[in-house]
Amino acid sequence: MNTKEQSSGGSTIYRHQATDRPYTFAKGDETSFELISQHVEKYIGPIQSVFHEIVSDLVHIDILYVAPTKERNYITLVTSGMSNLPMTVPEGAEAFRYAELIICLPPDWELSNEIIQKEENYWPIRILKMLARLPHEYNTWLYAAHTIPNNNPPEPYASNTKLMGMMLTIPSIVEQINEFFTLTVSSDKEIHFFSLTPLYSEEMDYKLKHGAEALFEKLDKASVNELLDPRRKNTCKKLFGLF
C-alpha cells in the first residue's frame, strides 16, 4: 500500500509499505543491455567490467563499470535492467516510465572482488540495485528531485559516511547532457538516465521544508553532484536549531 502527503516546501512525500508477494524470478534482456552499454560507451567511456546479478527478483540489475580517465577522473557506475519494466507513473508522465541510474565514485574507491565484500566499499552498488528495483517493488516511480532516505528514520549508509539518502538529479558528468539523458529505444520507449546525488539527513529535511529548488541552489553553490564524497561538507548543517 502506498500513501502520499504534501510537505511544507511543496514536495510530495510517498510512503511505501511492504506487501506480501511471491519472489518473481527475472532474466536479463540482452538487447536492452547492449543498447544501454552502447549508449554509455558513446557518452561516458568504455565499459571495463560489469557487476552481474546472479539471481534477480522482479528485474535483473547489472552494474556497468566505467574506469577513471584523465578527462573524467572518477569511477562511473550505471545500472542496466531497471528499464526492463515500466514504472507506475502518474498521469501526464508516461514519457518517463523507463529509467536507469548513475553514481560516480572517487578514482581510488576499491571495488575488487575481495574488497567489495565490505559494506564500506559495496554500499554504492547496493543502493543502485535497491533503488533500481524500488519502483517495481512498490508500484511507484522515480524522477528528478525525488529523495529516498536510507530507512525510516534515516541512518548512515555505512561506517565510512554520514550520508543518509539519495536524490535523483539530471546528470552533470557528460557534456552532451540532453543527448545522454534520453535513449530512444522505440516509438513507445525512452530510457532516461538519472544521477544519484547522496544527501545528509539535514539536506533532505531542508528540501521538505523549503522545496527542491532551494536545495538545488545550496548543492550547486557547494559543487555537490553525483560524484560521491563520503565525508563532504553538509550544506544544511543546523546551527542553533536553524538552517
Model pLDDT for residues 177-232, shown as the tens digit of each residue: 999 999 999 999 999 999 999 999 999 999 999 999 999 999 999 999 999 999 99
Residue 211 lies in a domain: yes
Q: What is the phi-psi region of residue 139: left when phi exceeds 0, alpha when psi lies from -120 to 50, beta otherwise?
A: left
Q: Is 139 helix (H, G, I), strand (E, B) or coil?
A: coil
Residue 79, in any domain of the structure: yes
CA distance 73 to 69: 5
Number of domains in the chain: 1
Q: What is the pTM of this model?
A: 0.90
Q: Cα(148)–Cα(153) distance, rounded to whole angstroms?
A: 11
Residue showing cell 529505444: 185
Is 239 within the bounds of a domain? no
Residue 227 belongs to some domain of the structure: no
C-alpha cell at 124: 554504492
pLDDT score of 243: 46
> Does 226 fall in a domain?
no
Q: How confident is the model at residue 240, as a pLDDT? A: 39
Task: Evaluate whether residue 184 is within a structural domain.
Answer: yes
Find the domain containing 107 and state its range: 19-221
Residues of the chain short of pLDDT 50, as ranges, are: 1, 239-243
State the Cα–Cα distance between residues 11 and 6, nearest whole angstrom: 6
In a domain, 2, yes or no: no
Task: Kindly state the helix (H) or strand (E) to which residue 87 belongs, with its residue range.
Answer: none
Instruction: Catalogue the E-assigned strands of 106-155.
Output: 147-149
Does residue 142 belong to any structural domain of this protein? yes
